[in-house]
Amino acid sequence: MKPRPRAALLVALAVAQLAVPAWAILSNERILRHGETFRFRAVPVDPYDPFRGRYVALRLAPNTAAAEEEEGAAISWGDTAYAPLGRDAEGFATLGPLRREPPPTGAFLTVEVTDRTEEGWTVELPFDRYYLRDDLAPDVERAFFALAADDDAAPSWLEVRVLAGRGVGARLYVGGRPVG
């Protein structure tokens, strides 16, 4: 292939290479700027990704929800469903009954249904990690375990912004204090 067509194809590839991170930046910025804030109770552990660095893997609560009665039979394992969001008395997020269609009003999350338990449907929330500076992550993990052993300690949570069914983790709080 001659240099000019090859360079043109390379430019097209470069646009595609830039489009992926650029799209991620734009869509997440929109959620962070205009999304509604919710707090999910968090249980952090500390793994490592060789490319993206150290992060706190999060097990968030609540991650179970009932299904709307008339639609309950239609929801099954592996489905994508919509969970309306609310807040409990302490200000933490609650998941409403799962729906097959997005609710017409109010904040909601798009989730994947992963299991069925006595408590209802288990869902996979669209946040599972919080990246931290690599020297900070072990301290966060230690602080978390110390706090977990203390029943009177303040809770840990992930603050997320939610917009149009999508959520972005905004800040992690361990023992009531922000980290990172």
Partner 1 sequence: MSGPSDPVRWLARELPELVARGVLDAATAERLRDHYALAAERRRGIRSLALAALGALLVGGGIILLVAHNWSELGRPARTVIALAPLLVAQALAVWVVLRRGGSAAWQEGSAIAVVAGVGTAIALVAQTYQIPGDLHGFLGTWLVLTLPLVYLLRSTAVAVFALATSVYWAATMEDGVPAAWLLFLAALLPVIAPALRHGWRSDRERLLGWSFALSVVAATPLLVVDLTKAAWLPALGIVLAALALEGWQHPGDDPRWRARPLTLVGTLGGASLAWYLGFEGAWRWGWPGRGDDWQDGAQSWAVVAVLALLLLRVVHLGIRAARQRAWPEATLAALAPAAVLAWALRLATASEISLLFAVAWNAYLFALALIFLASGLRDERPGRVNGGLALVALVILTRFFDSDLPLLARGAAFVAVGLGFLLANRVLERRLTARTGGAMP
Going through the chain in order, the beta strands assigned E by DSSP cover: 36-45, 48-49, 53-61, 64-65, 80-87, 93-95, 108-117, 120-124, 129-131, 157-163, 166-174, 177-179
Residue 132 binding partner 1, by CB under 8 A = yes
**Residue 86 corresponds to which tokens in the numbers above?**
């609310």
Residue 52 binding partner 1, by CB under 8 A = yes
Residue 168 binding partner 1, by CB under 8 A = yes
CA separation for the pair 125, 33 (Å, rounded): 20
Residue 97 binding partner 1, by CB under 8 A = no
Residue 146 binding partner 1, by CB under 8 A = no
Residue 45 binding partner 1, by CB under 8 A = no
Residue 103 binding partner 1, by CB under 8 A = no
Applying CB under 8 A, the residues found at the interface with partner 1 are 3-4, 6-7, 9-11, 13-14, 16-18, 20-22, 24-25, 28-29, 32, 49-55, 126-134, 136, 168-170, 180
